A and B are shown apart, each in its own frame.
Chain A
Amino acid sequence: MSAEYKNTIRQRAEALSLARSFFAKKNILEVDCIALTQAASIDVNIDLFAVSSPTHGTRFLFSSPEYQVKRMLSNGSGDIFYLGHVWRHEEQGKNHSPEFLMAEWYRLGFSFSEMIEETIAFVELFTGQKPHTHLSYRQAFLNARALDPFTASDKELIDACPATYSPSSRDEALNLLLALYVEPSFDPDAITVLYHYPASQAALSQHVLSDGHRVGERFELYCQGLELANGFHELTDAREQRRRFIEDNLLREQQGKEPYPIDEAFLQALEKGLPDCCGVAVGVDRLLMIQHDHDQIKKTFAIDWQRS
């Protein structure tokens, strides 16, 4: 076995135990989930692996354990974390592996800013201490592009996109502009927290008002040009959650993608009552990239996706 191969195995093992000891110190309990599920995580831009068998019909490899974990939370589990693999179809590239390692945890009674601080502490286990920059989504757009994402007209947003890319919605234009112009403006050596996304991109976060604009209490964390984490002050309203599922499925169909079955057990858990909580999901392979200076995600695996 080559020294490099051995190193890759050891680096991953150390990352797993580093993460587990972080959670153990905070009395956050590890949960294990069924990865191949009947209902699916529904997100316009996340496509799942479907697995069919004659006895079990079609099931999906989850893109996040979120729905199961929230069912446990609503049943009184207390603070919990999941550390394991998740799958996203068609995501492959320098910084993407279709199967990757996610650390996802939930904190009862945490405020949005407490959750951000704890996420930074977790990330710094791997990156070492970094300066921190907190930027609202709106401020980040104003800084990088002098464009107000809440008041700019659809035409202004579309005109700001490259000519070779015609976005089909306002959110699609914003997502592209964020990736092309806003993210590259962040200091690569700092940890940048981007928060308060437009309400239409709240995903599973609660809406609040900020400077008169309806925003989602959602944050993302960046370092060295990599998107590392996505966190929410979690939505607890079952009816709003159902509305977002239906909307996401409609948008999927408009884009020629298949709609996914709605997780009724998850919605029932929300109806029963999800305690007020915050949650975050962190891509651990990318933390390994930064920690060990790997320029490609596949180098963090002893045997990567293509060779497995």
Chain B
Amino acid sequence: MAQISTSDIRPGMKVEVEGQPYFIVSNEFVKPGKGQAFNRIKVRHLMTGRVVEKVFKSGDKLPEADIVESSMRMLYKEADGAVFMNDESFEQVTISNECLADSAIWLLEDTLYDVVFYKGSPVAVSPPTFLEMTITQTDPGARGDTASGRVLKPATLESGAKVQVPIFVNEGEKIKIDTRTGEYVSRV
């Protein structure tokens, strides 16, 4: 893989540090008056999402991480993961529950997801920012709820996600959800 010098590293780039894949969050140049220059680089781990700070000698080169993102369609869920298909090559991959992590609650059949591959293996899945889903369970809103200041109630969606919805929406209705925050956006 290509090597990137500390002076060319920009946020969003993907690099490998100590054998682990990271996204660059920020890169700060520091030069003590009479000391040698170094770079304080904040990185986010590709799989765990943990942000850490790493220090490098200015001018050091970091290997670019072998990371590829591709759009894949979710076919079906299995006990230990979910199966996705590439629409062009019809190639199928099974992604484990461990890699699905927080995205597991946003899985809908026949929907496109961004799948991240590291060294050829799928490591993470990100759902579309907005998803439309049917409410499979929610209690009816009771009269007087708004008067007592209560405007939201719990609801379960077809993917299994548990979210808060306004008291006026009912079971069986389709709603739009922001997957970044899990917040209700609108009725569809």
Q: Which A positions have Cβ atoms within 8 angstroms of B?
A: 43-46, 88, 90-96, 162-166, 172, 175-176, 178-180, 201, 203, 220, 227, 230
Contacts and interface: CB of A to CB of B under 8 A. Distances in A.
A164 B39 CA distance: 11
Interface in B1-59: 17-18, 28-38, 54-58
Chain A contact residues: over half helix, strand or loop, or mixed? loop
A163 B58 CA distance: 15
A222 B32 CA distance: 11
Interface in B115-157: none
Q: Which residue of B29, B33, B38, B54 has the most chain A CB atoms within 10 A of its CB atom?
A: B33
B54 A230 contact: no
Classify chain B: how many residues form its interface, as a range: 10 to 19
A93 B30 contact: yes
A175 B36 contact: yes
Nearest to B40: A180
Contact of B34 (A46, A95, A96): A46
B34 A176 contact: no
27 contacts: A43-B34, A44-B36, A45-B32, A45-B34, A45-B36, A90-B37, A90-B58, A91-B29, A92-B29, A93-B29, A93-B30, A95-B30, A96-B31, A164-B54, A164-B55, A165-B56, A175-B32, A175-B35, A175-B36, A176-B38, A176-B55, A178-B35, A179-B30, A179-B35, A180-B55, A201-B34, A227-B32
Contacts of B18: 163-164
Q: Which of A88, A164, A203 has the most CB of B within 10 A?
A: A164
Given A46-B34, A165-B56, A175-B35, 4 more contacts: A45-B32, A45-B36, A93-B30, A164-B54
Contacts of B35: 45, 172, 175-176, 178-179
A94 B28 contact: yes
Contacts of A88: 31
Given A45-B36, A179-B38, A162 B54 contact: yes
A203 B32 CA distance: 14
Contact of B38 (A44, A92, A165): A165
B37 to A, nearest CB: 7
Q: Would you list the 9 A-B pairs with minimal beta carbon distance, nearest first?
A: A175-B35, A93-B29, A162-B55, A45-B36, A164-B54, A91-B31, A179-B32, A165-B55, A230-B33
Contacts of B30: 93, 95, 179
